[in-house]
Chains A and B, each alone.
Chain A
Amino acid sequence: MNQEFLRPRLVGRRFDEHSLPLDILKDFAALEEMLVEVAKRQYRLANPERKRVLKGFTKGLELHLTAVENGSAIPVIALVFSTLFPSADAEYFDQAKDQIVEAIAAAEHGQTPDLPPELLRYFDRFGRGLREGEAMEFVRRTGQTASLTPATRERLLRASHAEQWTEEVTLKGRIPEVDQADHSFELELRDGTKLKARLLEAHRKTVLDAHYNYRDGMVVAIKGVIERDRADRLKSFESVEHITPLDPLDIEARLEELAQLGDGWLDGKGRAPEHAALLRLAQAFDEHYAPDLQLPHLYPTAEGGVQAEWRLGEWEVSLEIALPAMAAQYQALHLKTGESRELDLTLAGAMTSRAGWR
């Protein structure tokens, strides 16, 4: 038999279609492990005369995903028993759930969570799949909501006294070094930080190709799990899922590069583009720039904006984008005839439209 156990609400763009990315199921697998350990602790607290939990304490108990409901997405998780009636131990799982939800609520409100550090360390994997702007919301016994976000998770991990923890990331960089004997390679980030990673057979060709083209500036994006310490320093890759070679004109990578510019970047003059505005511009390109269009070259402007340029046959086309206003001036010039076309645009409006940039 089974009984409904947990109905967390997942919030964020990935969950808007009322479905669950398979990626996030890893977090619930980690939650199951955490629940078992917290339930054992609850049992020991309730039975101080016992030094260890009963053999078979968790036998026949499992968490199952039984449905995904709307709103944005609500996975319905049931406690499944192999027996006809609920196990007497099930109450410890209920208590464990409450303890975990209360720990999240405490961290959310800047208070010290009540769980011991070794149990808080389960948040290294539970909540790791959440991205910026996403949350898992749990209902507390009081009816209030406790929200697990990347920021709450970090507070919980800091409270666990862990020296380092892991994060799911996508990082871009070049590959200066491959050690085939050691089955490892290094990813060099734009700021010079080098991160070691295991070289898997599936990635060997891509890694060697990127290494060969290191001097030509070939950039790859690596999706994987990274170790980060309490001082916020990236340490090394724990695992690598995907390695993707990037187009030399990759928009997001180029805008990240422009974000490194400081005031005075142009021979003592030149205003640095605002980081938040560059992020919005990258998002706008990602959402609205039709994938079949030729990628633009992107350059900073002295006024803190970004200029996109295309060469289309004899036409030299430019779009000067003022930031943060997102006001843009389009100009196309035919280099042979001198014919020109000009247009003033507001990209901020286009960003809210579902139509692509054409």
Chain B
Amino acid sequence: MTSGTLLLRQIHPGFVQDGRVTFQAFRPTPKDEFCLSVDNGDRLAAEAAWRRFTADPVCASAGVQAVSQSDCAAQALPVIEDGRPHPEHCSIDFSDFDKKTIEKKAKLLRAAAATRGWLFTEAAA
């Protein structure tokens, strides 16, 4: 992984309104044990990541956005190449921070992702 590696994030349809994505899409939920799931964009294309994710009928995704490894580094967020549950899987680790700080970091990640726009959308599938 390099500083330019894109980390692919699936965006739930409920987290999109009128084309705008909430910063919640870039923070772990309380049940995620402070780790945000992403895929390594060097090893997996956005469309392939979306297709694998949505193959599970429980999971829904309006599309894929991405932050870079350097975006995370700028927020002092380690990126862990954990390879689970699939080889390309990574986790952005928020465990060193409290809720309010996590929200600020998520807002900055959202802004970085928004400048890149959608890498893949459900409509293109």
Contact = CB atoms under 8 A, between A and B. Distances in A.
A233 to B, nearest CB: 28
A335 B112 CA distance: 10
A248 B59 CA distance: 26
Contacts of B18: 217, 248-249, 297
Interface residues of A, number: 31
B23 A316 contact: yes
A302 B29 contact: yes
B97 interface: no
B14 interface: yes
A301 B31 CA distance: 12
A147 B113 CA distance: 58
Contact of A309 (B22, B30, B31, B108): B22
State the main secondary structure of chain B at its contact with A.
helix
A267 interface: yes
Given A268-B59, A302-B29, A316 B111 contact: yes
A331 B29 contact: no
Nearest to B105: A333
A256 to B, nearest CB: 13
B23 A318 contact: yes
B86 interface: no
Nearest to B22: A299
Nearest to A261: B14
A303 B14 contact: no
B14 A265 contact: yes
B20 to A, nearest CB: 5
A299 B30 contact: no
B47 interface: no
A254 B17 contact: yes
Contacts, number: 64
B58 interface: yes
B17 A318 contact: no
B24 A301 contact: yes
Contacts of A342: 100
A329 B107 CA distance: 15
Contacts of A329: 100
B51 interface: no
A301 to B, nearest CB: 7
A333 B29 contact: no
A309 B15 CA distance: 11
A265 B110 CA distance: 21
Interface in B6-46: 12, 14-15, 17-18, 20, 22-24, 29-31
A211 B105 CA distance: 41
B39 to A, nearest CB: 15
A307 B59 contact: no
A268 B29 CA distance: 13
B103 interface: yes
A283 to B, nearest CB: 20
B59 A267 contact: yes
A107 interface: no
Contacts of B100: 329, 331, 342
Contacts of B20: 297, 309
A299 B17 contact: yes
A266 interface: yes
A300 B60 CA distance: 15
12 contacts: A248-B17, A249-B17, A254-B17, A264-B58, A267-B59, A299-B17, A299-B22, A302-B24, A307-B22, A318-B23, A333-B108, A335-B108
Given A217-B18, A331-B100, A331-B103, 17 more contacts: A249-B17, A254-B17, A267-B58, A269-B31, A270-B29, A299-B15, A299-B22, A302-B24, A303-B30, A309-B22, A316-B23, A316-B107, A329-B100, A333-B107, A335-B108, A338-B104, A342-B100
